[in-house]
Structure 1
Amino acid sequence: MAVAQESTASVSDVATFWVRVFSWSMIAVLAVFLASNYLVTTRDWPSIANIFLQESAGSLAWIQLAAYLAGFAAAAIYVLSSRAQTLRADSALISDANIFLIRAFFWAVLLIGLIDMMVSFLRVEGLLVGVVGEEMTKKLGRPQFRGTYLHMPLIGAGLVIAAFTRTLGFIWLTLLIVVAELAIVITRFVFSYEQAFMGDLVRFWYGALFLFASAYTLLEEGHVRVDVFYTNFTAKKKGLVNVFGSILLGLTFSWTIILIGMGSKSAMINMPIAKFEVSQSGYGLYVKYLLAAFLAVFAITMAIQFVSYFLAAVADYRGEPGKRQPAAAPTH
């Protein structure tokens, strides 16, 4: 009897090890992919695909391949060095890090929207020269300058603010969207005044609200399920369904967006960001390239959250204690 129990415990430990290695490897691969994408897109490094497509790929492509292998090794080393950590602890750690990223992006979007709107308003009314001077006004009219020296510092500010706050900001952003819409209605129909940046601001914040909130909604079990069968499943069966759903549907969906949108310099996400693409209206917000980045943020945060969800689902299947309860009742 004791031998059987020891054998079962050993199998469970091995399964836990490989589940954790797989999960942390997904995080490591995602991090290496994003770093590699930055180097290929902005620093003209050769793609890792050159190793398989060309006879002479160059050392930089091999460095990227080595980075992926190092990511797998780092994941395995971390798991080996934290054997006592449970699947639920890993799930919570990954989820908390992801929530921090989402919180930072929300603050960044809030700041960029407000500051860029002020700059656009002053430009269109001819008041910006009196505030920052003629030379800076010309520079702020160039997308690359505004993106690099105005938007990027604000993204950094979002990261700093996120480190000192705990709320995600969904409610505040929703309220500001309503205020922005109301301002458009009042200025258009009462004062006969409307500018392109006003509509751009609403679209910018709307996009962030729905795409950034998706991962948090997954955490709180808020996504709609077609649960004709799922509702009547036992906790173990629900865990099993969520295990396969996280991999076959969730991670597959997220990685499809990432690979198609960021697979090359000319991909639909990479190209607008690299060129700081803006709308044709010269006096609108200079944030069109960030709308493309929203898709990347959506896919990345969803991939990370699905890894966390996968770990929690395996723990549910195995009947481990400490299941996290959603903050609100799930939407079905």
Structure 2
Amino acid sequence: MKRIAAGIDRINTSVAHVVRWLALLMVLIQFVIVLGRYVFGVNSIAAQESVLYLHATLFMLGAGYTLLVDKHVRVDVFYSKASAQTQRRIDIFGHIFLLLPSMAALLYWSWPSVRNSWAILEGPISVGGIEAVFLMKSLIPLFCILVMLQSLSLLVGLISNPAEDKAHT
């Protein structure tokens, strides 16, 4: 099980190493858009939408890695003051009863929309935009799958190595 968990960690790390470059690309495209609009008086809806696509891709595909390195948003009311054993129990509960079911529900309820979008090769959000909304909608199930896999990987570490606590991440 630990080898499978390590493989999942490698998948999310590899995805993160690829999508991190989207942040730089997004900034560069936004700079070109602003320069084009305010200096040259040129505008492109497709260029503006490309920033949206890059932003969505960066955050949706980077979520599994964010979970791996424990940098996700956490509402910390009592967690930081809890003992390592209590933190471990909270993490296990959160993965099993909150994270995994919510990702499964999102995957289940979003799938018909993604499937329909692919069936019609859903076009641009705006006139003159990128004709690939079906690709952007595909990020939803990918997000769910990457986060669910990472959650399972973390659970393996939490359950199999109680003494190590968060050493898996």
TM-score, length of structure 2 as denominator length: 0.89
Query: 1:92 is matched with which residue?
Result: 6
CA RMSD of aligned residues (A): 2.1
Match of residue 133 from structure 2: 288
Q: In the alignment, what sits opposite 1:200?
A: 49
Q: 5 Å matches for 1:47-126?
A: 88-100=2-14, 102=15
Identity %: 26
2:155 to 310, 314, 325: 310
1:220 is matched with 69
Deviation at 1:94, TM superposition (A): 2.3
State the AA in 1 paired with 2:151. F
For residues 280 and 89 of structure 1, the distance between their equivalents in structure 2, rounded to whole angstroms, comes to 42
CA distance in 1 between partners of 2:59 and 2:32 (Å): 21
User: Amino acid of the residue matched to residue 92 of structure 1?
Assistant: A
If asked which structure has higher relative contact order (CA below 8 Å, sep 6+), I would say 2
Change (3 A) 1:210 1:321: closer
**Does residue 233 of structure 1 match 2:82?**
yes
Shift of 1:208: 0.6
Deviation at 1:203, TM superposition (A): 0.7
Offset at residue 226 of structure 1 (A): 1.8
Contact 1:240–1:314 at 8 Å: present in 2 too? no
Q: Distance in 2 between matches of 1:205 and 1:187?
A: 19
Residue deviations 1:281-315 (CA, integer Å, cap 9, x gap) = 56422221111111111111111111111112213
Structure 2: gaps of 5 or more residues: none
Change (3 A) 1:281 1:242: closer
1:276 aligns with 2:126: no
Aligned partner of 2:148: which letter?
Answer: A
Count of aligned residue pairs for this structure pair: 169
Aligned pairs for 1:137-286 (under 5 A) are 167-170=17-20, 172-262=21-111, 267-279=112-124, 281=126, 283-286=128-131
Gaps of 5+ in 1: 1-86, 104-166, 326-332
Q: 1:219 is matched by which residue type in structure 2?
A: L
**Contact 2:26 2:55 (8 Å CA) reproduced:** yes
The alignment's TM-score, normalised by the length of structure 1, stands at 0.47
Change (3 A) 1:90 1:248: same
Deviation at 1:250, TM superposition (A): 0.9
Change (3 A) 1:277 1:238: same
Is the CA contact (8 Å cut-off) linking 2:19 and 2:61 kept in structure 1?
no
**Alpha-carbon distance in structure 2 between the residues aligned to 1:220 and 1:304:** 14
Q: CA deviation at 1:182?
A: 0.9
Larger Rg: 1
CA contact (8 A) 2:158 2:166 kept: no
